[in-house]
Homo-oligomer: A and B are copies of this chain.
Amino acid sequence: MAESWSFLDTFETDFRPLVVIELAKGTKEETIEWFTNRIVDKKTNGGAQLLVKPLVTENGKENIYLVGASHLRLLLGAETVGLVKECNDNSMRTFTYSSRKTFKDFADDNHNFLTVAECQYIIKHELENLRAKDEKMIPGYPQAKLYPGKSIVRRLLTSGILVQIFPLHDREELKKLRHSWYGRVKVGYQPLDEIRCYFGETIALYFGFLEYFTFALIPMAVIGIPYYVFAWEDYDKYVMFATFNLLWSTVILEVWKRICAIMTYRWGTLLMKRQFEEPRPGFHGALGINPVTGREEPVYSSIKRQIRIYLVSLPFVCLCLYFSLYVMMIYFDLEQWALDYHKENESNFSNLMLFVPSIIYAVVIEIMNRIYRYAAEFLTSWENHRLESSYQNHLILKVLVFNFLNCFASLFYIAFVLFDMKLLRQSLATLLITSQILNQFAESVLPYWLQKRHKKRVKKHMSSLKTDTDLSLVEQVNLEKEMGTYFGTFDDYLELFLQFGYVSLFSCVYPLAAVFAVLNNITEIYSDALKMCRVYKRPFAEPTANIGVWQLAFETMSVISVVTNCILIGMSPQVNALFPDSKMDLVLTVAFVEHLLLAIKFIMAFVIPDKPREIQLKLAKLEFESLEALKQQVRATDMYNSEK
């Protein structure tokens, strides 16, 4: 490897821009020079050894830099981040530069061995790992303190000098991807491997899950249709439907883990070693020694964090939940009042008044949701988590609980306090359909339209200037840097999660929910694809091996749905009629069935292996090989040491 790094110095290929760095307007010259020097500087001097080129814009005021890297540099970077690629013998192995010849499709002149998304991920990783040496501050900004080992990019970001870093779209590739993804109307699977090559594993996995989930809902939808068409009201039929649904939802969640393992094995992320995680940008604390790495970095007492979580965040979340329930009760009072008013003085006005409470409630919920989201982000950031993953988990948990309550509390109230099945069905349908329409609109149609308008304006502006520089690249960068940022798959998963709630929690009352969910998801795939390709900035690829905390969230929802469905079936008049003598027997039977279903669920989850046998064997083989290799390596190092 030492020789490879030195080899790198004498070797310079033509520049291919991969990542854009935008510095704030009016950033001091010395800062820019220092920063670009550090990026270009040799690895042995603590630089990143990347290539940087300023983007010449028409007014020259903007500080935009394009970052690229030589082919060799990227291969060495691939080894650093621990990419896993396919070998000639079809097995997946961690890429190392010295074993490069054993990898499939590798050739020294094949610059497509690494996908563009991988190259951009490597550059991002290298930039983020650019660390301060003996600088005490960012040159030109004495207030932006540095200490040895601090990530320079993170300090530049937190002090506002660095506006953004984003990867460039690859127009050719994007065109191809768009065509095969949603370019033509077709029945079939999404090109997940191509999506993964272009957007990375996290996003490909979301689309994979969306697709899988849609297919998995089809049996529910198909079985649900006759219930609606023939208006079946026999509750033995509903019981069968609900039982099928409950077991089916367990099966699909378990099978997803297997499919996910197959996909991520193929993509190499299942095997990818977790890199040592750096502190997230917002993390702060007194300078100390990290007990794990022994490096100097901010440390923050875990006890203090626990206190903040349990004594501030938790009570706050509970308060919000209580407040949300309180608002709901007011809504039901208003509703009652409107109904009474309508009954007393029936008129067009009173008819209109009937809708007022719902509208007010919808608006209030939306406002509460947004305020709560800000509060949750603020609180989670104040909890001062060291790792981005831990921050995300705490944020997701907070938002999830609140959204769950907001969406389903009124339905629970109608079902289990008012006992009004007709109203429940009606509310469920209204909530499901309106939320789906609103989401589709707010998520893609609106941003797409805004983006189109903006593009036109930029194009007009550009063509009026008519400079001789590489216009298309400047144009592209200018366009893309104004595009919205895609903040990750959180909202997309949340939407699916709530949809799963609508489908499963009250499935025995409204069997048609699955049909709407399937229809929505088919258009969702297209609108999300559109969103990714045309509305947002290209996001950095993020390797991942599973859908993380969402798997747990979906599984929890499916456990809750066993309880709700059993209660709903028990409350139905038809089932009540089966136990004319004793309500006790009814309740006991329902409770027994519920426990039985829960037990079956857990046994099923336990019995179905999380990874298909084929993948298990491949993993075992790799583990065996690495054990053998370790023995060899120890021997080689020993021999090397003894020869010295």
Kindly supply a per-residue 1/0 record for chain A positions 622-644, scoring 1 wherever the CB is within 8 Å of any chain B CB and 0 otherwise. Answer: 01100100000111111111100
A591 at the interface (CB under 8 A from B): yes
Contact mask for chain A residues 202-242; partner B; CB cutoff 8 A; 1 contact, 0 none: 00000000000000000000000000000000000000000
**Residue of chain B at shortest CB distance from A620:** B292
The answer to whether B1 and A634 have CB atoms under 8 Å apart is yes
Q: Does A145 contact B (CB under 8 A)?
A: no
Q: How far is the CA of A617 from the CA of B276 in the complex (A)?
A: 13
Select A1's contact among B3, B273, B588, B635, beta carbons within 8 Å: B635
Q: How far is the CB of A409 from chain B (nearest CB, A)?
A: 17
Contacts of A3 in B (CB 8 A): 638, 642
Q: Is the CB of B637 within 8 A of A637?
A: yes
CA distance A252 to B273 in the complex (A): 33
Say if the beta carbon of A587 comes within 8 Å of chain B.
yes
Report A504-522 residues with CB < 8 Å from chain B CB.
none
Question: Contacting A641 at CB < 8 Å: which of B79, B98, B302, B620?
Answer: B98
Q: Determine if A291 and B621 form an interchain contact, defined as CB atoms under 8 angstroms apart.
A: yes
Interface flag for A431 (CB, 8 Å): no
Residues of B close to A587: CB separation below 8 A: 584, 587-588, 591
The closest CB in chain B to the CB of A563 belongs to B595
For residue A387, give the distance in angstroms from its CB to the closest CB of chain B: 11
Binary flags per residue of A407-441, CB closer than 8 Å to B gives 1, else 0: 00000000000000000000000000000000000
Cβ of A634: which chain B residues have Cβ within 8 Å of it?
1, 79, 96, 98
How many Å from the CB of A473 to the closest CB on chain B?
A: 36
Please name the 8 residue pairs, one residue from A and one from B, whose CB atoms are nearest each other, closest first: A640-B640, A292-B620, A292-B621, A1-B635, A587-B587, A1-B638, A98-B638, A291-B617
A276 and B617 alpha carbons, distance in the complex (Å): 13
A613 at the A/B interface (Cβ < 8 Å)?
yes
Enumerate 16 A-B pairs (CB-CB under 8 Å) in ascending A order: A1-B634, A1-B638, A1-B639, A3-B638, A96-B634, A98-B634, A276-B623, A291-B617, A302-B613, A563-B595, A583-B584, A584-B587, A587-B587, A633-B633, A637-B637, A639-B640
* Distance, CA A4 to CA B641, complexed state (A): 13
Chain A interface (Cβ within 8 Å of chain B)? 1-4, 79, 96, 98, 273, 275-276, 291-293, 302, 563, 583-584, 587-588, 591, 595, 613, 617, 620-621, 623-624, 627, 633-642
Give A273 to B96 CA distance when docked, in angstroms. 24
**Assembled-state Cα–Cα distance A467/B275 (Å):** 67
Of the residues B293, B588, B640, contact of A624 by C-beta under 8 Å: B293
State in angstroms the CA–CA spacing of A633 and B617 once bound together: 27
Contact B273 A627 (CB under 8 A): yes
Which residue from B613, B624, B639 sits with its C-beta under 8 Å from A2?
B639
Residue of B nearest to A275 (CB): B627
- On whether the beta carbons of B637 and A633 are closer than 8 Å, the reply is yes
Distance between Cα atoms of A424 and B445 in the complex (Å): 67
What distance in Å separates the Cβ of A548 from its nearest Cβ neighbour in chain B?
15
Q: How far is the CA of A275 from the CA of B584 in the complex (A)?
A: 56
* With known contacts A276-B627, A291-B621, A2–B584 Cβ distance under 8 A: no
User: What would 10 more interface pairs be, CB under 8 Å, given A273-B627, A291-B617, A633-B633?
Assistant: A2-B638, A2-B639, A4-B638, A98-B637, A276-B624, A292-B620, A292-B621, A587-B588, A637-B637, A637-B640
Chain B residues within 8 Å of A613, by CB: 302
- A621 CA to B295 CA, complexed, in Å: 11
Complex Cα gap A402–B79 (Å): 53
Q: Assuming A292-B624, A621-B291, A624-B276, is B637 touching A2 (CB within 8 A)? A: no
Give Cα A641 to B99, complex, Å.
Answer: 12
Cβ distance A579 to chain B, nearest Cβ, rounded Å: 12
| CB atoms of A635 and B2 under 8 A apart | yes
Given contacts A624-B276, A637-B633, A638-B1, contact A617 B292 (CB under 8 A): yes
A642: chain B residues within 8 A (beta carbon)? 3
* Chain B nearest Cβ from A182, distance in angstroms: 39
With A and B bound together, what is the CA distance between A623 and B273 in angstroms?
10
- In the assembly, what is the distance between CA of A130 and CA of B94, in Å? 32
Inter-chain CA distance A454–B441, complex, in Å, is 87
Interfacial chain B residues near A623, Cβ < 8 Å: 276
Q: Which residues of chain B have C-beta atoms less than 8 A from A563's C-beta?
A: 595
Q: Which residue of B lies closest to A273 (CB)?
A: B627
Kindly state the separation between the CA atoms of A641 and B620 in the bound complex, as whole angstroms. Answer: 28
In the bound complex, CA of A1 to CA of B633 (Å): 11
Bound Cα distance from A563 to B598, whole angstroms = 12
**Chain B residue at smallest Cβ distance from A595:** B563
CA distance A221 to B238 in the complex (A): 48
User: How far is B4's CA from A635's CA once the two chains are assembled, in angstroms?
Assistant: 10
Cα-based distance from A583 to B1 in the complex (angstroms):
78
A144 to B293, CA, bound (A): 55
CB-defined contacts of A292 to chain B, threshold 8 Å: 617, 620-621, 624
In the complex, chain B residues whose CB is within 8 Å of the CB of A583: 583-584
Docked pose: A65 CA to B241 CA in angstroms: 69
**Chain B nearest CB: distance from A210 CB in Å?**
27
Say how far A570's CB is from chain B's closest CB, in angstroms: 10
Give bound CA distance, A275 to B623, whole Å: 10
How many angstroms between the C-alpha atoms of A275 and B626 in the bound complex?
A: 11
A291 nearest in chain B by CB position: B617
* Contact of B637 with A636 in the complex, beta carbons under 8 Å: yes
Residues on the B chain within 8 Å of A293, using CB: 621, 624
Cα distance A624–B273 when bound, in Å? 11
Q: Which residues of B contact A620 (CB under 8 A)?
A: 292
Determine how close the nearest CB of chain B comes to the CB of A597; give it in whole angstroms: 13
Nearest opposing residue in chain B for A637, CB measure: B636
- With a cutoff of 8 Å between Cβ atoms, the chain B residues found around residue A638 in the complex are 1-4, 98
Cα separation A621 to B276 with both chains bound (whole Å): 10
Instruction: Tell me how far the C-beta of A631 lies from the nearest C-beta in chain B, rounded to whole angstroms.
Output: 8
> Which chain B residues lie closer than 8 Å to A635 at the CB level?
1-2
Give chain B residues whose Cβ lies under 8 Å from the Cβ of A1.
Answer: 634-635, 638-639
